[in-house]
Structure 1
Amino acid sequence: MLKFLSAALVMGLLTLSPLPTHAQDTMNGWYAGGFVGYGASTSRWTQGAVSTGDFSTGGMVAGLYGGRNWQRDKTVYGVELELAVSEIEGATQTNCVGCRTDLDSYGFVKARLGRDTGRGLIYGALGYGAASVTQMLTGSGHSAGITPGWQLGIGYEAPFQEGWNLRAEAAYMHFDGASNTLSGPISVDVGGVTTLKLGLTQKF
């Protein structure tokens, strides 16, 4: 599914052509868009004094976002809602008979602040939200739960056609540790998640 969304977004980008500088308008107003990208992180399972240590997880992400910008001179600020599905996952056999962590989905409410350069918007974003994380243990089934977290990102957004912007964003996410009882009390941590995303935005 995520590969299909990625292909659809790329095909959409290929149909766009850049606006001349004089035709670019401000970043003020409502907007909505979609994105695809890749994320990488680590996970750790701990039971008492026994730990798997950090093991790598990674995979594609895709989602939707929408929000509102306000602009005063060159300063742009706003709020945004981001919702995503994820294939970020990984497993280990270290001190565990098949421990696997899946980051299934996540969502954030973000505040954005940036500067309009005349050719595009350079911005930073800080958000708070939650993720759905599934832990699977070979022979013991799986356990899923919601865990809170935060996101810090930086990006660049530039007009392509009238009413359309192209966005590139790098973000770091961190989620609190989850727990399950698949085989006694186990703490499952999702380490820092780094994502690189490419998005297409429609302005209203």
Structure 2
Amino acid sequence: MNTQLLDLMKKRRTIYELGKDVKISQADLYEYIKEVIRYTPSAFNSQPVRAVVLFNEQHDQLWDLTGEILKEKLEPDAFLRTKAKMETFKQSFGSILFFADMDVVKAYADNPKIATYQYDEYNWSEQAQGNAQFAVWTGLEENGLEVNIQHYNPLISAAVKAEFKLPSSWQLRAEMNFGSIEGNAKDKDFIDDETRFKLFQ
């Protein structure tokens, strides 16, 4: 069997120590990310995933803004650790904000032609998110970059939409940092196959 995809999946890890030593241009990365998301599957080809790619000062602004919001939510000692984490994120080459366009999700959920599935459309939009994030992550891995994914939504959702003037229907689902590999990934543990899989022949 061909194992190119599986080999990439085995290499994929969360790495927090990311850097800016990236040889691929920002323009090429942006086009590549768009193409990967464009060809990511979604239920009924509804295409609910939206993405915002941030480089340079805009990338820094995301994590400065996140830090400002969290400062109001955390005790001073806890915020010191969070502030250090924000600075680590800023060291990465760029970030991708993943959104679900809830106008699209609701339109499919309310479509009488597929009324049987209306309650599943929200779940399927999350599947589309997972597909897109995994595809982008694996694609960046293939190009020698690494990634970590954060979930500061919904705490930062309103502020991010206001800062970058995004549509109100866009719901923030994840924040992905990417860049050159400057640290090691931890080993990945797996639960027992007997717990996770069943085969009927």
Shorter chain as denominator, the TM-score bin is under 0.3
Give me the TM-score of the superposition, normalised by structure 1.
0.24
Higher helix share: 2
TM-score, reference length from structure 2: 0.24
Higher strand share: 1
- Considering only CA atoms, is the larger Rg found in Structure 1 or Structure 2? 1
